[in-house]
Amino acid sequence: MTSALRQKAAQMASAAAAAAAGTGCYSQTSWALRRLGAGGGALASAATRRRNCSVAAAVFDNQNREYVIVGGGNAAGYAARTFVEHGMADGRLCIVSKEAVPPYERPALTKGYLFPPEKKPARLPGFHTCVGSGGQRQTAEWYKENGIEVLYEDPVEAFDGKTQTLKTSSGKILKYGSLIISTGCAAARLPEKIGGDLPGVHYIRDVADADSLVSSLGKAKKIVVIGGGYIGMEVAAAACGWNLDTTIIFPEDHIMPRLFTPSLAKKYEELYEQNGVKFVKGALIDKLDAGSDGRVSSAILKDGSVVEADTVIVGIGAKPSVSPFEAVGVNIEVGGIEVDSMFRTSIPSIFAIGDVAAFPLKMYDRIARVEHVDHARKSAQHCIETLLTSQAKAYDYLPYFYSRVFEYEGSSRKIWWQFYGDNVGETIEVGNFDPKIATFWIDSDSRLKGVFLESGTSEEFSLLPKLARSQPIVDKAKLKSATSVEDALEIARSSL
Ligand SMILES: Cc1cc2nc3c(=O)[nH]c(=O)nc-3n(C[C@H](O)[C@H](O)[C@H](O)COP(=O)(O)OP(=O)(O)OC[C@H]3O[C@@H](n4cnc5c(N)ncnc54)[C@H](O)[C@@H]3O)c2cc1C
């Protein structure tokens, strides 16, 4: 950061501090009002509020921290790092977390975390945030050393935009100058009445869920995975490492239906089958039944068939955790808190980042929510730089998805794919999955819109974002006649 930017940031920070110190206006009634009422009133000018309020700063449990991040996940971790990089964390930043540990790289939970005990599973502090992208590992000590207050296991339960205050489940009252909502998503659950809460039924969103699943896998013999998306496929691959009898059940025709073509899905399904995994496709769950011990014992399908299981993992999607911030403005189409291209909500000084943010996806001119770690990192960094500096750039995100499975020691075949761009238009597939395969999505103007690659080299993977970002016109006939993935990538590269 330049010294001019640093100076500007310091000026903005002291202005925010002054504002925060003078706005201690809290009353029990206002909580009730803010939780019921929406939007408008919260936009009342901060100056008016400051004139009317005179409660001392010491009332607040976070001693009037200027910046409060709600949610202690991936985006929060990268936001904290950006605050530190700008010299703006020390004594000014408070993170309010539902979890018992500092932010960590959540994707590890269905990957290294689920390796069998003898295959060196990942454990904290090994994957606290920022290990993936370089930088210092952000352990609890790192937060302390950088003067960041982290409140653990104390979720925010109520929000008052008018008085700029939050209330946590333990009853703490927190004041914010600027608020960053990074509450992520919660796993979608099967209803309790169909057995969604039975012992032995697992959902996986946080490290506590992963611990509980590891403990079940240690005793399991037959597992059922419900859902053929990322979570289902990653958990099933992990279960192969534990040599468990594994069945994946989903309603669609093939795995990863939102991204994979049927042909691509077939290759991966065959690989899973070679590892002993069974698929039940086009099937809906009617209910989960319990045995005499009260634990789940089987999944009953809508067609009446029964799949036995002592452990069930449900991976049927996630829902944005907007509560208690509904009044800030929820996008009705994609869910999540609506923000502009700088992650500002409709209420001044309130921002939203990561999975929970409904933001303008500039490249494709639509509002989107992206539930992926790359966006969590980049949105956090973009938002905090906008908040602390004079940056006014619009966020211009290129969608990127990846997965890595079968990576445990002794696995016969590792899987690592990446996708960049938009999966629209005609597809051209090249390669035989031994181990590489590539799929190109091309629109009616012959523009390359999206590209998928399995088992690429780092140089090949680094070409993908360039292709997806510049959307070159490609020679489809030439691409179709490519004799190898390397050849196809070269054809695509030459059209840049
Ligand atoms: C098992 C799993 C595997 C994944 N694998 C991949 C992958 O391979 N590749 C990929 O790109 N992405 C993957 N993802 C998605 C990725 O982890 C998310 O996109 C990323 O974590 C989003 O970051 P976030 O900070 O927005 O949300 P999160 O990391 O979910 O953090 C949100 C935090 O807010 C907390 N919270 C919620 N409400 C409150 C409240 N009221 N008060 C306080 N705290 C609250 C939550 O407990 C949580 O700690 C995976 C996700 C999961 C669950």
Mutate which of 94, 183, 202 for ligand 1 pocket (most atoms within 8 A of beta carbon): 183
Rounded to an integer, the average pLDDT of 323-337 is 97
CA-to-CA distance for 472 and 407, rounded, in angstroms? 34
Q: Is the per-residue pLDDT at 64 higher than 80?
A: no
Taking alpha carbons only, the member of 249, 231, 235 closest to residue 188 is: 231
Same fold, 60-186+317-400 and 192-316: yes
Inter-CA distances, 316 with 105, 205, 289, Å: 21, 12, 18
Segment (H or E) for 240 = helix 230-241
Instruction: Give the confidence band of 131 by pLDDT, cuts at 50, 70, 90.
Output: confident
Mutate which of 74, 156, 377 for ligand 1 pocket (most atoms within 8 A of beta carbon): 74
Compute the distance from residue 366 Cα to the ligand 1 centre, in Å.
23
Q: What is the pLDDT of residues 177-216, one digit of tens each?
A: 999 999 999 999 999 999 999 999 999 999 999 999 999 9
CA-closest residue to ligand 1 atom 44: 71
Compute the distance from residue 97 Cα to the ligand 1 centre, in Å.
12
Ligand 1 atom having least distance to the Cα of 204: 1
Compute the distance from residue 308 Cα to the ligand 1 centre, in Å.
31
CATH topology of domain 192-316: FAD/NAD(P)-binding domain (3.50.50)
For ligand 1, residues with CB inside 6 Å are 70-76, 96-99, 106-107, 109-110, 155-156, 182-185, 204-206, 230-231, 321, 354-356, 371-374, 376, 402-403
Going from N- to C-terminal start, the domains of the chain cover 60-186+317-400, 192-316, 414-494
Mutate which of 373, 379, 419 for ligand 1 pocket (most atoms within 8 A of beta carbon): 373
Q: For position 59, what pLDDT does the model report?
A: 57
Residue 5 neighbours by CB under 8 Å, 6+ apart? 389, 390
CA-to-CA distance for 447 and 464, rounded, in angstroms? 14
CA-to-CA distance for 164 and 323, rounded, in angstroms? 16
Q: Which CATH superfamily is domain 60-186+317-400 in?
A: FAD/NAD(P)-binding domain (3.50.50.60)
Instruction: Give the confidence band of 311 by pLDDT, cuts at 50, 70, 90.
Output: very high
Contact 110, 172 (CB under 8 A): no
Inter-CA distances, 155 with 260, 316, 384, Å: 37, 24, 22
Compute the distance from residue 21 Cα to the ligand 1 centre, in Å.
32
Ligand 1 atom having least distance to the Cα of 356: 26
Q: Which CATH superfamily is domain 414-494 in?
A: FAD/NAD-linked reductase, C-terminal dimerisation domain (3.30.390.30)
Q: What is the pLDDT of residues 445-489, one digit of tens each?
A: 999 999 999 999 999 999 999 999 999 999 999 999 999 999 999
Segment (H or E) for 17 = helix 3-21
Q: What is the pLDDT of residues 224-283, one digit of tens each?
A: 999 999 999 999 999 999 999 999 999 999 999 999 999 999 999 999 999 999 999 999
Q: Is the per-residue pLDDT at 34 higher than 60?
A: no
pTM: 0.88
Taking alpha carbons only, the member of 153, 167, 144 closest to residue 68 is: 167
CA atoms within 13 A on the CB side of 311: 21
Compute the distance from residue 318 Cα to the ligand 1 centre, in Å.
10
Compute the distance from residue 18 Cα to the ligand 1 centre, in Å.
33
